[in-house]
Structure 1
């Protein structure tokens, strides 16, 4: 049945893209799957023209959706190289308090020059605790991504000692930090738990809910409203280990209740990227037939420009790299393939046969 759908999908996309249907003839509305195929066609024809981080972001999610190792193996290797380079650099060059502060200050400098609300919030709160940029944004991210594959750095103990010098609760329970970095913090507190380090998940969620009480939604700026909704989806994404396992709606019932109650406002105030994540949150919980899924799919489908084969930015920009995240999420929402705990060293050993220097299997096989 899926093969037939793909064949039909290609036929309809060809009709749509090349305008072979007579102008006077009504063009049938594309299905959600066919709409996803429009975006997939655009990105996969130009995947390796994207920035390496965007190739990896796209390829990993498509691998976990399709389990197509032949198609996406190269993007996984790109990510492994990036993870190894980052952790090698930190283990060798950036691990003392002084080195960490200097590194973080360099990372923060561009934010000082950017005038948008999000960057200004991030710079103003992080300049007084610059180590967070190193610890949360870079070190934890690289270690957690390696961990998901069943890997770790050869100097894992040294890097864990760096993490243990800092009390992450300081960042996770700061309301100004949450206003600036909440989606990232949502991922990071779950990464810490998965790595067996500090567990501040509940403390973060409690502070987040205090920072964004529902009765104050109307007074939030557009950026802060998106920050709230996107963070809620990131909590669900983190619980699923980045789309690898199903989640239980009841474990975060407050999020699902909120999305159901406020979906029409979300559709008005949020971007296609955020809307797609809301819909995916329900799919991760096995709620495929929930009305929220249908509404988010309709909204995301309408955001696709058939002329350019992707969802442009809010200002109409069509940069493939900059638009990768919103577009890969749209593909996932519109043509959901379920959750798959892959790729990992144990499940896909051939993919990890030649690891970049610095990365080793957690079971010692590599």
Structure 2
């Protein structure tokens, strides 16, 4: 309750702020093709469409759940450094603090972790979609992964990015050290179920100065998904492969905080260039936008792949709804947040920035949620 009380006035103040007001005259993007229009006009049309989506989300940002609000606000702050996202970032910090407080006080012994993971696994067991069924089937022999990889590591890494840590940081690190993460990261079945998540997690471990199994994961990933076998993959497995590739780049950038070196990941960029048409045909807008942003993170703004991904996203926009809908045409804001914030970033890229941190933007961290402290 104290967390909510601390952040509530700020959220209310931003809700009524002109910074989040929707323009009454949204720009209409150019309909000229990239090949026919001057380069500057094409770029302007991309930016106009990014603004259209931004207005749709920012007029209702604080109606989203805390995770979605924080996901959007943090990414937009890293792009713009605009303090209007401060409340969303605080909400994200509060979410991280709440989860780490829970783990440090109530879920840290092997017995407690077992009970927790059984409950987490049951949620996947009850779902009927193919991906959830695969994840449940693959992970039931390694149920602690739901706790360690899916929940604990992400929260610790996010606090770390802010320049913070939990007050029981060492206690939480000791939990991580009980497990050999290569057991998950080098398992082909786990990769088929959790490629993007594992990519995040192996880099988070490195970021936290714990186990470094990045090399093992990449070797196992490439062996699990050899390029010569793309044609034999189902569309869902092909998409899982591309998600894994995009998240290797994202995680290496510490999520849009620093640029990446194309040569370090030449095998990924060469693959994208050779297979972009298949990617556009066989994957969803989320994945397409991520591929384009991977190029932007490497400073490859003028690569033809970027224009292809931008054109695909621009074509997918539902202009009446002011957003990129799902493949089924759904325009629900909450479910579309991930897809649409990626679309904004792709269409109006502002560069990689290592912000916000407690040292660089102290005003954002005036009221740090209970349980988090400066590193």
Using structure 2 for the length normalisation, give the TM-score: 0.89
Aligned to 1:285: 298
Corresponding position of 1:195: 208
1:162-311 matched pairs, under 5 angstroms: 162-311=175-324
> Distance between the aligned counterparts of 2:210 and 2:280, measured in 1?
37
Aligned residue for 1:353?
366
Does 2:343 correspond to 1:330? Answer: yes
SS at match of 1:360: strand
Q: Kindly report structure 1 stretches of 4+ aligned residues shifted beyond 4 Å.
A: 9-12
Deviations 1:182-213 (A, max 9, x none): 10000000000010100000000000000001
Q: CA deviation at 1:14?
A: 6.5
Q: Match for residue 58 of structure 1?
A: 72
Residue in structure 2 matched with residue 5 of structure 1 by the alignment: none
Out of 107, 111, 114, the position equivalent to 1:101 is 114
Cα 1:93–1:337 change in 2 (3 A) is same
Q: Determine if contact 1:140/1:188 at 8 Å carries over to the other structure.
A: yes
Structure 2 residue ranges without an equivalent (≥5): 1-22, 31-41
- What whole-Å deviation, never above 9, does each CA across 1:231-286 have from its counterpart, x for those lacking one? 10000001111001010001111000000000011010110110000000000000
Q: Measure, in 2, the Cα distance between the counterparts of 1:163 and 1:339.
A: 29
User: Would you say 1:36 and 2:69 are equivalent positions?
Assistant: no
The aligned length equals 342
**For residues 15 and 361 of structure 1, do their structure 2 counterparts lie closer, same or farther at Cα, with a shift above 3 Å needed?**
closer
Task: Report the more deviating stretch, 277-286 or 96-105.
Answer: 96-105
| Cα shift at 1:316 | 1.0
Instruction: Select 2:145's aligned residue among 123, 129, 132.
Output: 132
Q: CA deviation at 1:109?
A: 0.9
Match of 2:13 in 1: none
Instruction: Check conservation: 2:61, 2:69, Cα contact below 8 A.
Output: yes
Post-superposition offset of 1:115: 2.2
Distance in 2, matches of 1:155 and 1:15, equals 50
Q: Is residue 2:142 matched to residue 1:149?
A: no
In 1, the alpha carbon distance for the partners of 2:365 and 2:44 equals 39
What root-mean-square deviation, in Å, do the aligned CA atoms of Structure 1 and Structure 2 show? 1.6
**How far apart are the structure 1 equivalents of 2:313 and 2:127?**
29
TM superposition score normalised by structure 1 = 0.91
Deviation at 1:36, TM superposition (A): 0.7
CA contact (8 A) 2:166 2:372 kept: yes
SS of equivalent residue, structure 1 residue 167: coil
| Structure 2 contact 68–337 (Cα < 8 Å) conserved | yes
Cα distance between partner residues in 1 of 2:143 and 2:292:
34
**Distance in 1, Cα, partners of 2:29 & 2:281:** 31
Match of 1:117 among 121, 130, 151: 130
- The C-alpha deviation readout for 1:39-78, integer Å capped at 9, x for no partner, is 0010000101111110000000000000002x10000100
